[in-house]
A = this chain, B = another copy of it.
Amino acid sequence: MAMAIKSNRFVHLCFLFFVVSTVLLQTTDGRSWKKRPLRQPCRNLVLYFHDVLYNGKNAGNATSTLVGAPQGANLTLLSGKDNQFGDLAVFDDPITLDNNFHSPPVGRAQGFYFYDMKNTFSAWLGFTFVLNSTDHKGTITFGGADPILTKYRDISVVGGTGDFLMTRGIATVNTDSYEGDVYFRLRVNITLYECY
């Protein structure tokens, strides 16, 4: 009798265990969930990059240049019309660990942006951080809308290589400083959720 009870208890234990494991599996895999729980971020980086736009006179210092614009615009100055709608720039900007343009760069931000709204100042960015420092070797690729006048803008991290192989996450961008149409500095707070 005592034996039977004990054996029943074990069966119950095992059954309970099975149920718990199954639930855990479903929770962690998410197959039975509409929305999956967000895991903890696996990495966080805060970096700055500095854009000096070519204006016809600063060929030596410029780190970006207009390469496309709507009909009637020229390529040496952002058109004041329509919030620069359509102006397309290619850039190769230094990345620094702090907000000092003269700090030793830890990599380059390479890509393009274009102004994409007629009635306000807004952009779209596609670019890659090419990092080559003691701490980080690899690339992170970003894409998304950048509503410049909003203080903090979220842009998608869509991939990476090297130390950032196949990473995903979010970059929260804010304009740390700007000087007219010639210079701007973006602070980029990168939160990664997938690290391999």
Q: How far is the CB of A154 from chain B (nearest CB, A)?
A: 4
Which residue of B is nearest A195, CB measured? B35
0 or 1 for each of A127-153: is its CB under 8 Å from B? (1 = yes) = 110100000000101011101000000
- Chain B residue contacts of A7, Cβ below 8 A: 6, 10
On whether the beta carbons of A168 and B159 are closer than 8 Å, the reply is yes
- Chain B residue contacts of A75, Cβ below 8 A: 70-71
- Chain B residue contacts of A165, Cβ below 8 A: 38, 170
Which residue of B is nearest A72, CB measured? B75
Chain B CB within 8 A of A110 CB? yes
On whether the beta carbons of A144 and B118 are closer than 8 Å, the reply is no
Which residue of B is nearest A129, CB measured? B145
Q: Which of B43, B90, B111, B168 contacts A85 (CB 8 A)?
A: B90
Q: In whole angstroms, how far apart are the Cα atoms of A193 and B88 in the complex? A: 33
0 or 1 for each of A68-82: is its CB under 8 Å from B? (1 = yes) = 111100111000000
Q: How far is the CB of A138 from chain B (nearest CB, A)?
A: 8
- Chain B residue contacts of A169, Cβ below 8 A: 166
Interface of A toward B, CB cutoff 8 Å: 2-3, 6-7, 10-11, 13-14, 17-18, 20-22, 24-25, 28-31, 33-40, 42-43, 54, 56, 65-71, 74-76, 85-88, 90-92, 108, 110-112, 114-118, 122, 124, 126-128, 130, 139, 141, 143-145, 147, 154-162, 165-166, 168-170, 193-196
A-B CB contact pairs (8 Å), 20 listed? A6-B7, A17-B17, A17-B18, A21-B21, A28-B31, A31-B40, A65-B85, A67-B68, A67-B88, A68-B88, A71-B75, A85-B92, A90-B124, A92-B116, A108-B117, A124-B128, A130-B147, A139-B154, A141-B143, A157-B159
